[in-house]
Amino acid sequence: MVVERDQDIPSSRVPIIDLSNPDQELVARAVVKASEEWGVFQLINHGITTELIQRLQDVGRRFFELSEAEKKDVAKLDDSREGYARRYTLDLEKRIGTVDQLFHNVWPPSAVNYSYWPKNPQDYREVNEEYTRQVKMLSEKIMEWLSEGLGLRREAINEVVGGEYLLNVNYYPPCPHPDVIEGLDAHTDISGLTLLLTNEIPGLQVFKDDQWIDVEYIPFAVIVNISDQILRISNGKYKSVLHKTTVDKEKTRMSWAVLVRPTNDMVVGPFTELIGDDPPKFKSMVYKDYIYRKVRNLPFVDLDS
Ligand code: OGA
Ligand code: NI
C-alpha cells in the first residue's frame, strides 16, 4: 500500500512510500509527488534486505569504534575528497557542529580507490560492494520514475547525474549539550540525489513550510533526499530539501549517505525539453565548478533572481 499521509490534511510527516505495491504506476506517482512537494521521502519494502543493511551498519560502526590511530590509516589528505576526518562547523546562531566522517567512492570501478576503504573490519569491502550494487539499482529506479515524471526518456536523469556514487558515513558521538552542539548544519546536498540509512537514534530534520520537521526513524527504511543537481535539471520542479542533524545526549548516532552525483566535467543545467514555455531558472554549469562555488559559499547566478 502506498501511504500518502500528506494528501488531504496538511501533515508534518515526511511521505512514506511502500515499493512492494504491485501497482508500480501508483508508486511512481507517489515518488514524483513527494519530490515536487517535499524533496524527501522514506522508502519501505525497497528490496534491500535487512540482513545486508545490518551488516553494512555493523562494519561501519566497527570501523568508527577503532582507535584514532587505526582510523588514520584511511585519513583524508588535504586535497582529497575521500577519507576519514572530523568536521567542525559554526552556524549563524553560533552553534558548533561536529561529526566524524568517512568518505569513499563506491562506483564506478574506475573512481574507486581502495586505499580509502577501511581494511578493518575485514569484511568491510565485501559488504560495501554488495550494498553499492543494491543501492545503485534502487537509485536508478527512482531516477527512471523522476525522468518519466518530467515527460522525458527514463534514462534521462541517470545520464546526467548518475555518473558517480560516493559513500559518506557519519558518526555523531553523544553530547550532553544538544542546545549548543548540533551535527550537520542546515544544508542541501550538492549531489543529484542522496539515499540515506541511519541507526536507531533519530536526529534528521527537514525544512518544509517554514518549519523544521523531525524525520521519524523507521527501521530499515531508505530516506531519499532530492539534491541540488536534480533541482537544477528539473528546472525547479523537484525540490532540493534543506536538512540538518542534531546529536543525542547519550547515544551515538550514525548514518550512511550514498551521494549519487554527476562526474566532475558533466555540464548540468535545466533539460532543454523543459524550457520551452518556462524560462530556465538555473544557469548550466560544469559540476566541479558548482562544487567549487558551493563549498566556498560563493553566489550562484540564478536566472530568476
Ligand atoms: C549528509 C546528511 C543526514 C544524517 O550526510 O549530507 O545530511 O542523517 N546526513 O546524518
Ligand atoms: Ni545532507
Domains of the chain (ranges, CATH numbers): 16-295 (2.60.120.330)
Say which ligand is closest to the CA of 215: 1
Site to probe by mutation for ligand 1, drawn from 40, 243, 253, 261 as the one with most ligand atoms within 8 Å of Cβ, is 243
List pocket residues of ligand 1, CB cut-off 6 Å.
Answer: 168, 170, 184, 189, 196, 198, 204, 243, 245, 255, 257
pLDDT of residue 304: 53
| CB neighbours of residue 188 within 10 Å | 19
Question: Counting ligands in written order, which one lies closest to the CA of residue 103?
Answer: 1
Q: Return the percent helix, strand and coil in the chain, to nearest 5.
A: 30, 25, 45
| Distance separating alpha carbons of residues 88 and 112, to the nearest angstrom | 26
Backbone angles phi, psi at 149, to 5 degrees: -65, -20
Q: 8 CA distance to ligand 1 centroid (A)?
A: 29
State the distance from the centre of ligand 1 to the C-alpha of 204, rounded, in angstroms.
7
Rounded to the nearest 10 degrees, how much is the dihedral formed by the CA atoms of 213, 217, 221, 226? Answer: 20
- The closest-lying atom of ligand 1 relative to the alpha carbon of residue 223 is 8
Which one-letter amino acid corresponds to residue 202? Answer: P
Per-residue pLDDT of the chain (305 residues; tens, 9 = 90+): 455 544 444 468 999 999 999 999 999 999 999 999 999 999 999 999 999 999 999 999 999 999 999 999 999 987 888 999 988 777 777 777 778 999 999 999 999 999 999 999 999 999 999 999 999 999 999 999 999 999 999 999 999 999 999 999 999 998 888 777 778 889 999 999 999 999 999 999 999 999 999 999 999 999 999 999 999 999 999 999 999 999 899 999 999 999 999 999 999 999 999 998 889 999 999 999 999 999 888 888 766 54
Distance 187 CA to ligand 2 centre (A): 6
Q: How many CA atoms lie within 13 A of 64 on its CB side?
A: 23
Ligand 1 atom, smallest distance to 101 CA: 5
pLDDT of 23: 98
Q: Which helix (H) or strand (E) holds 86?
A: strand 83-90
Which residue in the block uniquely carries the three cell numbers 576526518?
85
Phi, psi (deg, nearest 5) at residue 158: -55, -40
Distance from C-alpha of 222 to C-alpha of 202, rounded to nearest angstrom: 14
Contacts of 166 (CB under 8 A, 6+ apart): 81, 82, 103, 104, 105, 106, 191, 258, 259, 261
Q: Report the separation in Å between the CA atom of 291 and the middle of ligand 2, taken as the mean of its atom positions.
A: 14
The number of CA neighbours under 13 Å toward the Cβ of 10 is: 2
Return the pLDDT at 3. 52
Question: Alpha-carbon distance 28 to 19, whole Å?
Answer: 9
Cα 284 to averaged position of ligand 2 atoms, centre (Å): 23
What would the grid cell of residue 207 be? 525544512
**Closest-lying ligand 1 atom to the alpha carbon of residue 215:** 8
Whether this prediction's pTM lies above 0.85 is answered by: yes
Contacts (Cβ under 8 Å, ≥6 apart) of 102: 60, 63, 64, 74, 83, 84, 118, 167, 168, 169, 171
Q: Residue 12: name the closest of 33, 43, 38, 44 by CA.
A: 38
Find the ligand nearest to 223 CA.
1
Ligand nearest to the CA of 240: 2
